[in-house]
């Protein structure tokens, strides 16, 4: 029987971790993810999990310890935010190239500088090309559900790659919401035991992780790693289907909200998707055919599927909660536009940088985006295609 509870996003993720009962958790505190290892250490102290908690001196050490324990054959988890993820940068690539299915709970927070502890996606987007799978949540329920599904995706023999389970700092991590938990034994059965084929402590097997790769092998290693990411798409759908059977909650690569006949659409990631849905509802009441496409799986990027979902949209706004500093577009903007171009779809497209450092995202501000699209539709001129939302120029 499902369990109703009121939890913050951090609490929800920590509960999922307790239910999974990983073997090892190395972690170092950083706002706003600190509560996750804090809650989890109470589970360790109370004997509710069998996990070996490893306090380390930095986030670089946390991910290095994750690599060591996962390579030894232990199911391993950690959590971080912002500059903590940036300090892990070097070893994020090592974890992926060594095909180690580590799980990282990432509570999204702005990278410095200027120094800021509030939400944007600069940390996750900065790490988007390290070879990790990336799932994003709109709310606390999705943060919990994504964590429960994460290991099933990452540890699949056709994938074997690390995974980030992302949620928005303070907006979901510290806000309390009503959510529905699965029973402990249901999660344990769903996730299952970790039985890797190869690991350092396996009797009778000689294996090395992280050896120097000479010129003859680097490209083949990267190609094999890419195949794992490609395979993760179908695996994510298969796992989501199984999860729906035990929870009643369905997930895919993205969520389509009132997209069936949408003429104007917004593509967005994370907690602001809820505000975007409210905006679409208000515009629909005015007779404007507005819709929202909320991205859940950002890596691997489901380009063809997204392009298909947007095939009938005439005017499109792509929302990036980070600044890529290329003066041309944001990371989501680049991905979406490439997907559309490769599939020969050409809606009038505006890309917005919004919500940096926790800047408020309101129905009013997102309504202005749709009004910009309507103005461009009327004038047949997109004008400046990369814009800032709610900024003092």
State pLDDT tens for residues 107-154: 999 999 899 999 999 999 999 999 999 999 999 999 999 999 999 999
Q: How far apart are CA 124 and CA 164, in angstroms?
A: 8
Domain extent, residue 344, equals: 254-388
State pLDDT tens for residues 196-230: 999 999 999 889 898 899 999 999 999 999 999 99
Q: What pLDDT does 1 receive?
A: 67
Domain with 319 in it: what CATH number? Answer: 3.40.50.920
Is 89 part of any domain?
yes
Whether residues 221 and 368 share a domain: the answer is no
Q: How many domains in the chain?
A: 2
- The full 3-state SS of the chain, as one line of letters, equals CCEEEEEEHHHHHHHHHHHHCCCEEEECCCCCCCHHHHHHHHHHHCCCCCCEEEECCCHHHHHHHHHHHHHCCCCEEEEECHHHHHHCHHHHHHHHHCCCCCEEEEEECCCCCCCCCCCCCHHHHHCCCCCCEEEECCCHHHHHHHHHHHHHHHCCCCCCCCEEEEEECCCCCCCEEEEEECCHHHHHHHHCCCCCCCCCCCCCCCCCCCCCCCHHHHHHHHHHHHHHHHHHHHHHHHHHHHHHHHHCCCCCCEEEECCCCCCEEEEEECCHHHHHHHHHHHHHHCCCCEEEEEECEEECCCHHHHHHHCCCCCEEEEEECCCCCCCCCCHHHHHHHHHHHHCCCCCEEEEEECCHHHCCCCHHHHHHHHHHHHHHHHHCCCCCCEEECCCCC
Is 140 part of any domain?
yes
State pLDDT tens for residues 25-67: 999 999 999 999 999 999 999 999 999 999 999 999 999 999 9
Q: Where a domain ends, among 247, 271, 297?
A: 247
Stretch 349-375: mean pLDDT: 98
State pLDDT tens for residues 228-264: 999 999 999 999 999 999 999 999 999 999 999 999 9
Q: Where a domain ends, among 211, 227, 247?
A: 247
Q: Where a domain ends, among 224, 247, 270?
A: 247
Is 393 part of any domain?
no
pTM exceeds cut of 0.85: yes
């Amino acid at each position: 029987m499902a369990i109703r509870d009121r939890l913050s996003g951090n609490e929800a993720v920590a509960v999922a971790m307790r239910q999974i009962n990983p073997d090892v958790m190395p972690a170092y505190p950083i706002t706003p993810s600190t509560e996750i290892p804090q809650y989890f250490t109470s589970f360790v102290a109370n004997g509710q999990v069998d996990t070996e908690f490893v306090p380390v001196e930095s986030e670089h050490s946390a991910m290095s310890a994750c690599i060591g324990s996962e390579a030894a054959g232990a199911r391993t988890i950690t959590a971080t935010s912002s500059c903590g993820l940036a300090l892990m940068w070097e070893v994020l690539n090592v974890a992926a190239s060594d095909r180690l299915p580590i799980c990282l709970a990432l509570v999204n927070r702005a990278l410095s500088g200027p120094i800021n502890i509030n939400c944007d996606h600069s940390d996750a987007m900065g790490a988007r090309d390290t070879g990790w799978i990336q799932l994003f949540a709109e709310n606390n329920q999705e943060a919990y559900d994504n964590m429960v599904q994460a290991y099933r995706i990452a540890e699949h023999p056709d994938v074997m790659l690390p995974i980030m389970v992302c949620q928005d700092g303070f907006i979901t991590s510290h806000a309390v919401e009503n959510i529905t938990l699965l029973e402990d034994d249901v999660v344990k059965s769903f996730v299952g035991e970790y039985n890797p084929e190869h690991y350092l402590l396996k009797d009778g097997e000689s294996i090395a992780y992280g050896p120097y790769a000479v010129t003859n092998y680097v490209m083949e290693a990267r190609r094999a790693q890419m195949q794992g990411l490609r395979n993760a798409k179908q695996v994510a759908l298969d796992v989501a289907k199984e999860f729906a059977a035990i929870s009643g909650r369905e997930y895919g690569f993205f969520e389509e909200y009132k997209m069936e006949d949408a003429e104007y659409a917004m593509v967005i990631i994370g907690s602001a998707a809820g505000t975007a849905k409210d905006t679409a509802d208000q515009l629909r009441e005015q007779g404007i055919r507005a819709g929202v496409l909320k991205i859940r799986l950002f890596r691997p990027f489901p380009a063809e599927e997204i392009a298909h979902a947007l095939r009938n949209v005439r005017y499109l706004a792509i929302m990036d909660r980070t600044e890529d500093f290329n003066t041309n577009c944001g990371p989501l903007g680049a991905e979406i536009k490439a997907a559309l171009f490769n599939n020969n779809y050409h809606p009038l497209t505006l890309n917005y940088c919004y919500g940096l450092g926790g800047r408020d995202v309101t129905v009013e501000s997102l309504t202005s985006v749709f009004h910009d699209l309507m103005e461009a539709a009327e004038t047949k001129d997109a004008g400046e295609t990369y814009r800032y939302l709610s900024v003092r120029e």
